[in-house]
């Protein structure tokens, strides 16, 4: 008889066959009728629908044949599966492939055979529709065509049922998830024809309401976005666009109070073969939290601009190749120019003629790399005719491949009132530079403590202070008795305790004490103290402060809220009122950056939560299917390069359906969580535990041979089997079956490795379950 022929895609074919879940199932009337029809049409003794797995051919339907299955090695149909085309045997005695087949040599054995492949998705030949007779027979082409057409009918029926089951499963997932699926019909008018069950949770409106003929979907959309949605929807319906994607608000009425939800709307069209739009499918996601965070960050940026303007700082940017110079609108307002004049005037024409050459020299020096920044003082003509003094600082932030500058950014500051005092002017320039540096450093590094560690010594130098401290109130602080330390200098500008600085980098929490600090934090007003301070006036535990002879304590604001404080102490003279004006831009900037730090931290937490949701199974907390397969792929590639051992185990909870049936799905969920908890306790940090779906799990043992992995699996199996699960007073006994496979050199694809683990799991179940089975090496 020779060896059993195999198709080139055998592993993938078997995987699909098992995914169909059609083997060993009950008889199906439609398949029974097809076999009876083909037996009659071809005048055969028997007709069969066969499915060929690893070791056998099993009969989904049969007429005139008694056995439920036969070994694969003696199956005529395995040749149909291997060839992927119809096989005809007119006399098996004369065919060397079958002349010694026991079903041929037996008394009254098979003489003639015709089998057409049952093929899914053009490439996966799962079995055949075949006829057999005890007499030789020459099959007419017309009857073979009947056989092939009926085989195509069987294939299409199996495919349709499989895809319908998957569709219903997908609908169930959507119905309980954060995305609401909807469908708009086109004829006789545009209206929703399907709305998923979870519409109430996602949109705030039930599907019974949205499907009413007197309700149009756009009626629940906020008026500000309604017209845009209708316009873009019409573009899709008219065939001008294939997809629609936008964000809008849905307005709902609950308990007489208006509620707003931000919805991310994605829709696409279904078209017929002629390109006509049949329907529009939509997927609606409640993105309220993400949108609120986005709007909050936008507001933070706007408030940052306001904070700069409050300190009479104005942003500017210069796109050098196009010579486009842009200034903030608030600067034009300061100079007395209208919005119309702002659009028409070239800002540089307003510069005093005597200052142009010097300003250009500074710009050229920075562009050539001679100076690390552009820094110039010059006069600009006010609309009323007089001149304002500006101090401008900027930096080239982009260059091309040849080193030529592409873009420059900076800030202006109005120094008109300070020009009379050179010292004040110099200090103001230092503040300006410091603000610019602090902003840039924070935007680049996002490390507020490093920013404070840089800024605090410079502020202390400006005020001749020997002690300095910057602290931040935690978000939503009520008692205002704790701050997070971000900057600290004790004794002198040069003094710096490395251990204390490390604690500050880790957000050291400081207990605020004393009437002075509490007064500043509660009242939000700066306090000048020209006499020595006692512990009743000021303490910062656990910091040990030197004796304080005087102090200036200033609140840090964002908008009108106190978000932190700055303490400067031990100046040689006394703290003057003018210091508040000098330090105000820096105080406002630090307050704004504190708020932005909070917002960034909240954003990171939100991103981390989204990342966790995207990479872990929601029910059990272990890795989800996608993450597990990505890890498998990486380890498979690592094995191919370095030949390091890798082992995978596939685990199934035995008879888990009975747990759900007898105790309920809530109890089943608790069992799954407890199973994961017990299993993870037996694993190493380097092992990856994931949920593939339902009660099926898998473990990836990195750099581990199969024997060590089997030992670990046995520990898990015993931990599950030896102790029942307690759920709401019930004792639930659970066992597991596991299949284990180590990756081999001849595994050409990842699927081959995983298929062997699935094969071992199948054997573990076949042997009685509650055991771990390893694929033996060939």
The one catalytic residue in 312, 674, 695, 759 is 695
**Position of tokens 């020209």?**
530
Q: Is the dihedral of CA 213, 217, 220, 226 positive or negative?
A: negative
Which letter does DSSP use for residue 732 in this model?
E
Per DSSP bridges, beta strands 56-63 and 69-71 are antiparallel
Long-range (24+ apart) CB contacts under 8 A made by 233-236 are 233/190, 233/267, 233/280, 236/267, 236/268, 236/269, 236/277, 236/280
Pairwise CA distance, residues 395 & 440, whole Å:
10
Map residue 509 onto helix, strand or coil: strand
**Which stretches within 496-558 are classed as H helix?**
498-505, 515-523
3-class secondary-structure state, position 255: coil
Phi, psi of 641 (to 5 degrees): -85, -40
- R_g of the chain, CA atoms, integer Å: 39
Cα dist from 464 to 221, 436, 528, 584, whole Å = 60, 22, 15, 17
Q: Which residue in this structure is represented by tokens 């149009």?
A: 216
CB 84 within 8 A of CB 119: yes
Angstrom distance (rounded) from CA 78 to CA 649: 30
d(CA 355, CA 229): 53
How many CA atoms are closer than 13 Å to the CA of 553, on its beta-carbon side?
Answer: 28
Q: How many CA atoms lie within 13 A of 102 on its CB side?
A: 6
In sequence order, which ranges of 176-261 are alpha helices (DSSP H)?
Answer: 199-203, 207-210, 223-237
Whether 225 is catalytic is no
435 vs 77: CA distance, rounded Å: 81
Residue 665's H or E segment, with its range, is helix 665-681
- Residue with structure tokens 């051919």? 57
762 CB contacts (<8 Å, ≥6 apart)? Answer: 18, 739
SS3 66: coil
User: Which among 117, 126, 157, 115 has a CA at the least distance from the CA of 13?
Assistant: 126
How many Cβ atoms are within 10 Å of 276's Cβ, its own excluded?
11
Annotate 682-717 with DSSP letters as a single string: TS-TT-EEEEEETTEEEEEEET--HHHHHHHHHHHH
Cβ atoms within 10 Å of 124's Cβ, excluding its own? 22
d(CA 600, CA 448): 11
Q: What is the DSSP string of 296-336?
A: HHHHHHHHHHHHHHHTTEEEEEEETTTTEEEE-HHHHHHTT
For residue 88, the number of C-alpha atoms closer than 13 Å in the C-beta half-sphere is 13
How far, in Å, CA of 267 to CA of 318, rounded? 40
Residue for token pair 């982009």: 398
Segment holding 632, helix H or strand E:
helix 625-642
d(CA 236, CA 268): 8
DSSP tag of 218:
G
d(CA 375, CA 392): 6
Enter the tokens of residue 115.
Answer: 């089998």
Say if residues 95 and 105 touch (Cβ distance below 8 Å). no
Catalytic residues: 695
């Amino acid at each position: 008889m020779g060896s059993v022929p195999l198709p080139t895609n055998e592993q993938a074919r078997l995987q699909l066959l098992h995914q169909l879940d059609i083997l060993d199932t009950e008889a199906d009337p439609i398949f029974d009728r097809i076999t009876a029809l083909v037996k009659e049409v071809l005048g055969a003794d028997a007709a069969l629908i066969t499915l060929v797995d690893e070791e056998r051919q099993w009969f989904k339907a049969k007429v005139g044949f008694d056995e439920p299955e036969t070994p694969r090695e003696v199956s005529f149909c395995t040749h149909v599966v291997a060839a992927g085309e119809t096989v005809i045997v007119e006399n098996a005695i004369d065919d060397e492939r079958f002349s010694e087949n026991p079903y041929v040599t037996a008394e009254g054995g098979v003489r003639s055979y015709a089998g057409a492949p049952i093929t899914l998705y053009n490439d996966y030949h799962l079995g055949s529709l075949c006829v057999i007779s005890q007499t030789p027979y020459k099959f007419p082409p017309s009857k073979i065509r009947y056989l092939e057409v009926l085989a195509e009918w069987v294939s299409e029926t199996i495919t349709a049922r499989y895809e319908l089951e998957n569709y219903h499963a997908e609908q169930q997932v959507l119905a309980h998830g954060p995305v609401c699926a909807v469908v708009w019909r086109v004829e006789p008018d545009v209206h929703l024809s399907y709305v998923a069950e979870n519409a109430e949770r996602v949109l705030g409106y039930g599907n019974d309401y949205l499907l009413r003929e007197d309700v149009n979907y756009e009626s629940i959309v906020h008026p500000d976005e309604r017209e845009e949605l209708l316009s873009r929807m019409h573009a899709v319906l008219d065939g001008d666009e294939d997809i629609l994607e936008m964000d809008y608000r849905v307005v709902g009425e609950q308990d007489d109070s208006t509620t707003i939800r931000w919805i991310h709307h994605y829709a696409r069209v279904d078209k017929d073969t002629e390109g006509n739009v049949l329907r529009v499918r939509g997927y609606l996601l409640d993105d309220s939290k993400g949108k609120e965070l986005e709007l909050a960050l936008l507001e933070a940026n706007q408030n940052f601009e306001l904070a700069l303007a409050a300190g009479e700082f104005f942003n500017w940017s210069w796109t050098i190749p196009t010579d486009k110079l842009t200034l903030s609108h608030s600067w034009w307002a300061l100079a007395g120019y209208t919005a119309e004049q702002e659009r028409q005037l070239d800002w540089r024409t307003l510069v005093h003629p005597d200052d142009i050459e010097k300003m250009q020299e500074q710009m050229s020096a920075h562009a050539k790399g001679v100076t690390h920044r552009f820094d110039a003082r010059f006069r600009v003509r006010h609309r009323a005719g007089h001149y304002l003094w500006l101090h401008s600082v900027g930096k080239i932030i982009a260059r091309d491949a040849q080193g030529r500058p592409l873009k420059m950014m900076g800030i202006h500051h109005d120094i008109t009132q300070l020009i009379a005092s050179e010292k004040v002017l110099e200090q103001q320039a230092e503040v300006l530079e410091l603000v610019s540096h602090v902003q840039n450093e924070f935007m680049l590094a996002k490390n507020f403590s490093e920013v404070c560690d840089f800024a605090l010594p410079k502020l202390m130098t400006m005020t001749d202070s020997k002690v300095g401290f910057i602290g931040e109130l935690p978000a939503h602080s009520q008692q205002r008795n704790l701050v997070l330390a971000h900057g600290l200098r004790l004794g002198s500008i040069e003094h710096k305790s490395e251990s204390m600085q490390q604690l500050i980098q880790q957000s050291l929490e400081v207990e605020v004490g004393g009437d002075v600090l509490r007064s500043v934090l509660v009242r939000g007003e700066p306090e000048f103290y020209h006499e020595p301070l006692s512990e009743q006036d000021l303490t910062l535990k656990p910091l040990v402060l030197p004796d304080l002879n005087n102090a200036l304590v200033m609140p840090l604001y964002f908008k009108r809220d106190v978000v932190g404080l700055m303490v400067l102490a031990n100046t040689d003279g006394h703290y003057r009122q003018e210091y508040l004006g000098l330090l105000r831009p820096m105080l406002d900037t630090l307050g704004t950056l504190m708020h932005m730090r909070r917002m960034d931290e909240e954003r990171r937490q939100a991103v981390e939560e989204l990342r966790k949701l995207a990479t872990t199974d929601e029910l059990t907390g272990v890795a989800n299917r996608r993450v597990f397969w990505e890890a498998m792929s990486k380890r498979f590639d690592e094995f191919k390069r370095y030949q390091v051992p890798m082992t995978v185990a596939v685990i199934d909870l035995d008879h888990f359906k009975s747990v759900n049936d007898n105790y309920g799905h809530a109890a089943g969920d608790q069992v799954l969580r407890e199973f994961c908890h017990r299993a993870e306790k037996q694993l190493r940090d380097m092992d990856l535990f994931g949920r593939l779906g339902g009660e099926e799990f898998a473990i990836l043992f990195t750099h581990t041979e199969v024997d060590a992995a089997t030992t670990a699996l046995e520990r898990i199996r015993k931990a599950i089997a030896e102790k029942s699960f307690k759920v709401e007073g019930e004792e639930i006994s659970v066992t597991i079956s596991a299949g284990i496979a180590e990756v081999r050199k001849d595994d050409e694809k990842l699927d081959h490795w995983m298929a062997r683990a699935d094969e071992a799991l199948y054997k573990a179940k076949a042997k009685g379950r509650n055991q771990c089975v390893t694929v033996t090496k060939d």
